[in-house]
């Protein structure tokens, strides 16, 4: 079954149409999306740099993870809302865009990884500190999020 | 030679034309600019949140300074290099772009805030207890947060040509702010 009819339906939603008809809306929503991206990356990096042993080093991983989690969730929500709006306005273009599919795939993997493996690891007290598993988790997390950022930027070039 | 004439000349150099017309170099440089922006902005905001006391209250500011700031600076350096290249590819148009000009103003203000923080606030903060907070730290954090959000917004808007010189007529105030002198026919 092709997903194209669904993407066409998305394209025809009133929200998508309103964004297409406006000069300012798309760039403005995009700017919010970018601020959300930066916030997410910051919150993820504080923990991943710690796991890699090259960031904050005196605080337990559990503590840093707890401190950054609300900001990560909040910024992910901001990105999800703004990203959905952007998507609705150009859903058909997205359907035919290779970077879009790369982004959606890596996003799914990144979210799955973040809320299963990485979350479990960062909640285990001490276990993740300076361990090979911790470094591997951080590298995987950063690689997946970079895939999302790569796809996101290149949707605009295609 | 005026700045306008200089950037016009710069834009006509072979290097600038090649970069502007390149199929891959320009988009790659722009992508690196955006990705390092995310790293820089994200880590700067985490620092600001600490200064504001909104999170990481038990992480000493000095620790942030030692362990996180180097990454922030590295990302900033890459951003300045790629940003300069992006400007070099389209000098005249960027120079006369209202969002670019506003972004540069905010960048200078953000730079002054960095100086204010490191010269005035930081020396007071490092001696204190781990959770130390001062009015100055809060102020520097709030200024930094607002200025960098502004820089990201304006940076994104540079791509749009609503107020560009070649789109006349524009209100006088816009042409003044973009140093644009429309020809009589356009007016």
Q: What is the model's pTM?
A: 0.94
Q: Which residues of B touch A67 (CB under 8 A)?
A: 55-56, 59
Other beta carbons within 10 angstroms of residue B184's beta carbon come to 5
Count A/B contacts: CB-CB distance under 8 Å: 95
Domain spans of chain B, in order of start: 3-159
Closest residue of chain A to B146, computed from CA coordinates: A35
Return the pLDDT at B126. 79
> In this predicted model, what pLDDT tens digit does every residue of A46-62 receive, in sequence order?
999 999 999 998 888 99
> In this predicted model, what pLDDT tens digit does every residue of A103-152 receive, in sequence order?
999 999 999 999 999 999 998 866 566 788 899 999 999 999 999 999 99
Q: Which residues of A touch B59 (CB under 8 A)?
A: 56, 58-59, 64, 67
From the list A38, A63, A64, the residue facing B38 with the nearest CB is A38
Tokens linked to B33: 């600019």
Binned at pLDDT 50, 70 and 90, residue B185 comes out as: low
Domain spans of chain A, in order of start: 4-155
């Amino acid at each position: 079954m092709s997903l194209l009819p669904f993407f066409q339906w998305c394209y025809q939603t009133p929200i998508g149409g309103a964004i297409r008809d406006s000069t300012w809306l798309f760039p403005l929503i995009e700017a919010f999306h970018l601020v959300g991206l930066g916030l997410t990356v910051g919150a993820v990096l504080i923990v991943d740099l710690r796991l890699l042993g090259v960031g904050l080093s005196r605080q337990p991983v559990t503590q840093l993870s707890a401190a950054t989690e609300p900001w990560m969730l909040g910024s992910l929500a901001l990105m999800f809302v703004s990203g959905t709006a952007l998507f609705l306005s150009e859903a058909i273009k997205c359907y035919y865009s290779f970077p879009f599919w790369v982004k959606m795939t890596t996003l799914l993997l990144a979210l799955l990884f973040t809320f299963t493996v990485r979350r479990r690891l960062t909640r285990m007290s001490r276990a993740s500190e300076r361990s090979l598993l911790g470094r591997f988790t951080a590298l995987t997390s950063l690689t997946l999020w970079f895939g999302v950022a790569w796809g996101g930027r290149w949707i605009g070039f295609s | 030679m005026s700045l306008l004439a200089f950037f016009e000349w710069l834009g006509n150099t072979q290097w600038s034309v090649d970069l502007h017309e390149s199929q891959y170099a320009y988009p790659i440089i722009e992508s690196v600019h955006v990705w390092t922006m995310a790293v820089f902005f994200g880590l700067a905001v985490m620092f600001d949140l600490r200064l504001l006391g909104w999170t990481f209250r038990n992480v000493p500011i000095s620790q942030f300074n030692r362990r996180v700031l180097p990454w922030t600076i590295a990302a900033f350096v890459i951003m300045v290099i790629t940003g300069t290249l992006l400007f070099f590819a389209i000098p005249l148009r960027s120079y006369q772009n209202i969002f670019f000009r506003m972004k540069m103003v905010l960048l200078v203000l953000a730079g002054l805030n960095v100086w204010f923080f490191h010269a005035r606030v930081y020396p007071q903060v490092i001696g204190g207890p781990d959770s130390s907070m001062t009015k100055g730290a809060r102020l520097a954090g709030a200024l930094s947060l607002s200025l960098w959000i502004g820089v990201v917004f304006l940076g994104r808007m540079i791509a749009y040509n609503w107020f560009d010189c070649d789109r006349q007529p524009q209100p006088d105030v816009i042409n003044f702010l973009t140093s644009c002198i429309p020809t009589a026919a356009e007016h």
